[in-house]
Structure 1
Amino acid sequence: MPCRENNKINRQAHYMIKNHQAWWFLSLLAVVFMLSGCEEKQVTGFTATVFKNYVKQKELGRCENEPGTLVEAYHPWWPTRIADAIFITPKQEGSPVKHCIPDIDPNIAAALTPEQKIRNRAKFYNAMTKTINQKTFTKTNGQEIMINKAFLELQELARQGEELAQIELNLTDYYSGPVQRYHFDEDNKHYQRLKQLAESGDGDAMCLFAQRHPTPFDGYEHLKHGAPGYKYEWYHQAPEDKFGKGIEKAAKHGGMECMVIYSLMLSPETSSVVTVQPDRKRAFQYLIEAGKMGSERAMFLLTSFYKEKNNRYGIKPNLGKAECWLKVHNQLFPEKENRLFVSTLRLMAKDEGIDINKPYPKYDSKTFCEMELAL
């Protein structure tokens, strides 16, 4: 059966299960899917939601080619595990890139300069934005597989001594397919280490800790993303170091990624949802500081907002600064797909009603667009 027919089958199966009809249909569907010849990356719809409900991490031993722990994601629900064993070829079987989480070399970590640590932290949070970017590899059997670029970059950062990267690889599955948070208990050693770093005053660790939690999260199971009013509850009912309040706390301690998120929370468009006192000036300063620290997302937002007349931060449009932040962005992230160019930026500014033919100041990218260039 062609793979394109699977969506129709998936819808039919979902309808039958929703209406509590015969479970034999589930077994029949599994056999049909096995015979359809679909590749691993095409497993979607019904099979993705029923056969892949949630994942945990299992340690398989030591990595073959470097100091580290070889792991795999597995599905603890027994029908899912049976389905995996029958229908899913392990992704790392014969792959040149294994699901290996490198050890942190204490000598490498100790030798990092303060500047290198700052750069690594920026790389860490920027890497996690690449969850839809893939790189192709060929397995020993000739099959081509896709590995998430976020996984590859986090793996490399762990080799370079960035502990947050190692922790994140143990809390989130970036390897197996679509990115999924692992289900883990409160006493998980990696989560406890993250908690220790956060409680030490590390702003970036605070930011990650605010956004990761055990499952179930005892006492806070009702705080579900996407439910009506969840943002209000997310801010007001969570612990001080989790979700909205945790992000605010991390931003105030210099957590780069949380500075970007908190800057958006402080703008009037969002502040009414979480009932934070809006402060556009303060919000924009957080965004500027995150950009200076190396946040790719902050740089892109600065480029965007500086070319808009009616932006959420209430700043005056400044095409010179928009071009400058674009230059900073493209210098630091030359590989970024779908990059903006100055010519495109000017056309977008023109659509905003900005006179692009009128002379305007240019800014020095080396000063993070604070100093004007001499004409």
Structure 2
Amino acid sequence: MAKRSNGEGTICKRSDGRWMISVMLGRDNKTGKIVRKYCYGKSKSEVLKKKEALLDQRKGPVYIDADKVTVGQWVEKWLTIYAKASVRENTYAGYRSVVVNHIQPLLGDIKLQKLRGIDIQNMVNQIKDTGGGPRLAELTFAVLRIALNKAFHEEILQRLPFKTVSLPKKRRKEFTPLTATEWVRLFAVAETDAEMYTALLLEWATGISRSELLGLKWIDFNFTTDNVSIRRAVIITDHGPKLDDTKTNARQRVLPLPEVTMQQIRLHQEQQNVIMSANKHAWENNDLVFPNFYGKLQDPRSWSKKFQKIAQRANLSITFHKLRHDHASRLSENGASIKDAQYRLGHSTTQMLLNVYTHRISGGQEKIASWLNSSFPTAPTDHETPLH
């Protein structure tokens, strides 16, 4: 066995023909014993490359001993180092909630290298069986998968154990759009709240999300061309509501508005100016279209509760988000193309629109059935001729 220079490890060729190198990484903080790692390869150069990669990895901010670290320790490190730097604050808060409430209690004590597909399957099953539902089980699995993929790409994890996991089937809930009568009822109740009435009229005309609605500024409205630009959204963070960019580039869009909506928007601006003047000492002018009483951002959750009261008074069992589904369905029923509907709703792909909002776009299937009915071939009755 030949020894290399100090600090470079011990390298040798084994009896099975493979090369091996022993690398000293330091000492255990508790026992003081030397910590060694072994790298194997088909050639001397291969194990030397693996050794260098191991040493470089140890210098980095995410180095951990994968043989000792638990799933809980790794997902915590992943949250702090990777997730926090790459996602929006509200997304990070959602990730952390999933990690703390589901991944840590069910998988946290298992060694990262010993995590098996059956362990993950058990986590998914427990979430579903304890009332969490398919959506929560899928979300938890997705967060864990992202964390494990990162460990794999950092060469901390040697295999991906989640590939054998089966997720529970989600039942698609059929959504019935509001009828014209129900919309009339909703608007009639909302007239007692000028702000809500304006917001509902704008929602009826655009189908924008709750966060996009509350993120609107007066500068977003073009009163010459009668359109609104969707540029930002209000997100929920641990420190309260905050303005951020839209979730995707596709969410940034310019939407033409009907005259009836623009008239109400103008009236709303006049009414807000009156409130601002009467409350000028406490008013914080942030140019928001739908601020709270002091001109500041509204919490989306509070807005939803406010809408819920309006809906209940209108005898409607519906959430504010369902109005977005309603808009998509009305686009479909009135012949809007799938691409136009996709742009108006701000989806990155048409698949999202097909899967979530409507199973019938632009009456296309009815048109096909009508065409087939009118084009049915009739064979001559005087001789037997194959249909063409």
Please classify the TM superposition score into its range, dividing by the shorter chain length.
under 0.3
TM norm structure 2: 0.24
Name which structure has the greater RCO, CA cutoff 8 Å, separation 6+.
Answer: 2
TM norm structure 1: 0.24
Q: Who wins on radius of gyration, i.e. which is larger? A: 2
